A and B are shown apart, each in its own frame.
Chain A
Amino acid sequence: MHTQLGASGSAALGTAAGLKVLMRKGKLKNEKINVIAFCGDGGGADMGIGAISATLTHKDYNCLVLLYDNESYANTDIQLSSQTPYGAVTTFSPSGTKKRLMHTRWKKNVPGMLAAGHPESRYIAAGCAAYAVDLMNKIRKALELGGPTFVHTLDPCPKGWDYHPQYSQELGHLAVECGIWPLYEVIDRVCNLTGPTRQIAEGRKKRKPVYEYLKRQGRFAHFAEEDVEHFQHEVDKMWTEWLIPGVIPFTIAAKDQTILKIDKKPLHEQKTA
């Protein structure tokens, strides 16, 4: 069933709620039915973010929202969304003689935001179609754990990113290997980096320079050296300053490290100060 652009969260919720109550009342055969709602970055990360967020708080319903991120409103001829990377050319952000970069917002961190804000969702993950097995496992886990879950995938788009389709998988790999798109999953509030992202974090693999990724795509062809540097600098920050690389963008000040040693016993077992 097709739904409206910003409605994937509500579609998942309404379908799951309907099936649940009909089975409870004996109006429908009781069986497990996976409910999956698909959306794009435009429909999910922009227009439908509120509904997805609400759905992820309804822990009694089993449904998965799967966000296909091709980094633009592609259907309507490649307009920028909150998922379009910094500086990229789209039909709403052309490069001109006066302004080289029309789009100067950093990509919104959707899976990180959803994981941070929805502690009762049992599974939230970031994947990439170029790592098919990793992605397949993520979808399986989301459906098996149940409750409302969310998987965000980066899906290279030859038309919008302006490259030959034969390089789709390579570009997906580069996005991850350059550290631009980290792969991870958050299971019951425990974050697990996956694939090359884990190897990078563990020091078993070195991040590639972002230029390797940018130079392969027409949407960055207008970049001057300073633009590449800025891009690299922002990605570096994800890996050097964020609490969890690419996932949680804030951290604790060095002078406050004692906070991490907070007494984690339940309240009734804690000694009074």
Chain B
Amino acid sequence: MAIQVKEREHQDVETEQLMSGCEAIAEAIRLADVDVMAAYPIRPYDGVMQAAAKLIANGKMDVEYIVADGEHSQFEIVKHACAVGSRVFVGSSGVGWFYAFEAIAVTAGLRLPVVAICGNRALDDPGAFGTEHNDSLAVRDLGWLLPWAETAQEAMDLALMAWRVGEDKRVSLPVAIGLDGAFLTHSQQIVRIPTQAAVNTFLPRFDLGDRLLHPDNPITIAPQVDQDWLMEIRMQNDQAMRKAHDVVSEAHADFKKLFGRGGDSPFLDEYMTDDAEYVVFGQGTLALPMKVAIRRLRKEGHKVGLVRLKWFRPFPTQEIVKSLSRFKAVGIIDRDYSFGSPHYGGVLYNEVRSALYSQEKRPTIVGFIAGLGGREIEQPMATEIFEKTKAAASDIKSGDTCHWIGVRS
């Protein structure tokens, strides 16, 4: 169901506003005419709920806004509201995300296109409010689409994409947008707010079709199927995830036509890579300090660049292969950990290496764990990452190592 859109017809009446990543998501909720949302407090994601509550209180949008008694309830409430045909929004962070884990798992199993944000936060214990990606990444195998935003603008844009892609009948999967805690959830940037008319063109009305739970459409949802049917159903989820790749591309193309934003590739954002020999690869806001380092190192004559991943699920394997095989070495920066994994690397590191396994031409891939718990990636750390990446280029095996960056001894 490709949507016909004309080029940038509404762009001229867009407005600009200074807002945080959380506030940008709240604007997206308004523009998408969300029907039901459920809130529960945990920092930093809850900035979205605070901003959305204000929009409701000020009569800017009509959303059934439910403050739940815990995250399990929060995610169950929107799951059930979605089953009767509501467009829904929900979110959490860190341990709150884990408190909802059962509901998160079944939402994907049910193929209900719930849209969530995960305001990425370190898991307890010990306590830390800052960003770390293990909360979002914990659902990586379950059938949630997982885009990651770098800026407040991208947060809003990805949210609008999320309903469009998730609710598309070819996909029908939930989406959780990763927003780095504090760095993105609570820092303000200029955001262009699209017009309602343009959003209406981009985002069709949610229609569950014959899967709608309604007395006029007698069906059963989530029956006990056991080994008789489970594999068939799991494989349908796999197929939906495969199709999501194309649906994301399609939505990205339409988004670009309508709003003029989104970059060349729906999946990867490349910075100074045209002639680059050594690049770093990562997701979220760590792009910012790395870009500063790239500009500095380039002045010193180093051919360095950055590839930023925009969608972790579906993992854009072909795009990554095509992009990364151009370089001599790639340093993968994980703002996460995966204790005991191959080479004791982070999640991204092992996923990227797996994607490149069968390629004849492949760069050295070396792993870095950095910025955990919201620690700033400072310039000396960025330099160290590039130096270590360059040093690893001569020998592909030297990539079988994962370096922890900026750790006090």
Q: Which of B86, B102, B103, B221 contacts A18 (CB under 8 A)?
A: B86
Contact across chains for B81 and A15 when beta carbons are under 8 A apart: yes
Chain A interface secondary structure, helix, strand, loop or mixed?
helix
A22–B84 Cα distance when bound, in Å, is 9
Residues of A within 8 A of B80 (CB): 1, 3, 10-11, 13-15, 18
- Expressed in whole angstroms, the minimum distance between the Cβ of A40 and any Cβ of chain B is 15
Check B83–A1 contact: CB distance below 8 A: yes
Interface residue A133 (Cβ < 8 Å from any Cβ of B): no
Could you show 30 A-B contacts with beta carbons less than 8 Å apart?
Answer: A1-B80, A1-B213, A3-B80, A6-B72, A7-B72, A7-B76, A7-B103, A10-B73, A11-B80, A13-B77, A14-B36, A14-B79, A14-B80, A15-B80, A15-B84, A18-B36, A18-B64, A18-B81, A18-B86, A19-B84, A21-B63, A21-B81, A22-B35, A22-B84, A25-B33, A27-B85, A28-B214, A50-B73, A51-B72, A54-B69
* B66 at the A interface (CB under 8 A): yes
In the complex, the answer to whether A28 meets B73 with C-beta atoms within 8 Å is no
Q: Residues of A contacting B222 with CB < 8 Å?
A: 1-3
Nearest-neighbor residue (CB-CB) of B106 within chain A: A4
Does A85 have its Cβ within 8 Å of any Cβ on chain B? no
Whole-angstrom distance between the alpha carbons of A58 and B106 in the complex? 25
Q: How large is the interface on B (under 10, 10 to 19, 20 to 34, 35 or more residues)?
A: 35 or more
- Total of A-B residue pairs, C-beta within 8 Å: 107
What mask results when residues 73 to 101 of chain B are scored 1 for a CB within 8 Å of chain A, else 0?
10011111111111010000000000000
B68 at the interface (CB under 8 A from A): yes
Does A9 belong to the interface (CB within 8 Å)?
A: yes
- The answer for the CA separation of A54 and B36 in the assembled complex, in Å, is 17
In the complex, the chain A residue whose C-beta lies closest to that of B88 is A18
A74 in contact (CB, < 8 A): no
Contact flags B213-226 to A (C-beta < 8 A → 1, else 0): 11100001111100
Judging by beta carbons under 8 Å apart, are A13 and B103 in contact? no
Quote the shortest CB–CB distance from A56 to chain B (angstroms): 11
CA gap between A93 and B146 in the complex, in Å: 45
Task: For chain B, residues 21 to 67, give those with C-beta under 8 angstroms from any C-beta of chain A.
Answer: 33, 35-36, 38, 62-64, 66
Selected from A4, A14, A25, A53, the residue in CB contact (under 8 A) with B78 is A14
B204 within 8 A of A: no
Q: Does A33 contact B (CB under 8 A)?
A: yes
B342 interface hit (Cβ, 8 Å) = no
Contact call B69/A18, Cβ cutoff below 8 A: no
Do A22 and B69 touch across chains, with their CB atoms under 8 A apart? no
- A17 at interface by CB-CB < 8 Å: yes
Q: How far is the CB of A55 from chain B (nearest CB, A)?
A: 9
Q: In the complex, what distance in Å separates the CA atom of A271 from the CA atom of B318? A: 82
B289 interface residue (CB < 8 Å to A): no
Q: Does B260 contact A (CB under 8 A)?
A: no
In the assembled complex, the CB of A120 is this many whole angstroms from the nearest CB of chain B, namely 16
Centre residue among A2, A7, A10 by max chain B CB count within 10 A: A10
The minimal Cβ–Cβ distance linking B367 to chain A, given in whole angstroms, is: 37
* Cβ-defined partner of B66 (8 Å) among A3, A17, A27: A17
B263 within 8 A of A: no
Residues on A facing B (Cβ under 8 Å): 1-4, 6-7, 9-11, 13-15, 17-22, 24-25, 27-28, 33, 50-51, 53-54, 58
Contact residues in B for A54 (Cβ distance below 8 Å)? 68-69, 73
* A22 → chain B closest CB, angstroms: 6
In the assembled complex, how far is the CB of residue A12 from the closest CB belonging to chain B, in whole angstroms?
A: 8
Which residue of the partner chain, among B73, B81, B224, contacts A17 with CB atoms under 8 Å? B81
Q: Is B70 in the interface zone, CB < 8 Å from A?
A: yes
A-side contacts of B214, CB under 8 Å: 28, 33
User: In the assembly, what is the distance between CA of A50 and CA of B224, in Å?
Assistant: 26
Top-10 shortest CB links A-B: A14-B80, A18-B81, A10-B76, A14-B77, A54-B69, A1-B221, A18-B86, A18-B84, A21-B64, A2-B222
Taking a contact as CB atoms under 8 Å apart, the answer to whether B64 and A17 are in contact is yes
Given contacts A14-B78, A18-B81, A21-B86, contact A50 B35 (CB under 8 A): no
Nearest A residue to B64 by beta-carbon distance?
Answer: A21
Q: Once bound together, how far apart are the Cα atoms of A24 and B35, in whole Å?
A: 10
Q: How far is the CB of B29 from chain A (nearest CB, A)?
A: 13
Q: How far is the CB of A130 from chain B (nearest CB, A)?
A: 28
Name the distance in Å between A24's Cβ and chain B's nearest Cβ.
8
User: For residue A25, which residues in chain B have a CB less than 8 angstroms away from its CB?
Assistant: 33, 35, 62
Q: For residue B86, which residue of chain A has the nearest CB?
A: A18
Chain B residues closer than 8 Å to A28, beta-carbon distance:
84-85, 214
Q: Which of A7, A17, A20, A21 has most B Cβ within 10 Å?
A: A17
Query: Which residue from chain B places its CB closest to the CB of A1 in the assembled complex?
Result: B221
Find B103's partner among A4, A15, A24 (CB 8 Å cutoff): A4
A2 to B84, CA, bound (A): 13
Which A-chain residue is minimally distant from B82 (CB atoms)? Answer: A18
Q: How far is the CA of A6 from the CA of B73 in the complex (A)?
A: 9
Tell whether, in the assembled complex, residue A1 and residue B73 are in contact, meaning their CB atoms are under 8 Å apart.
no
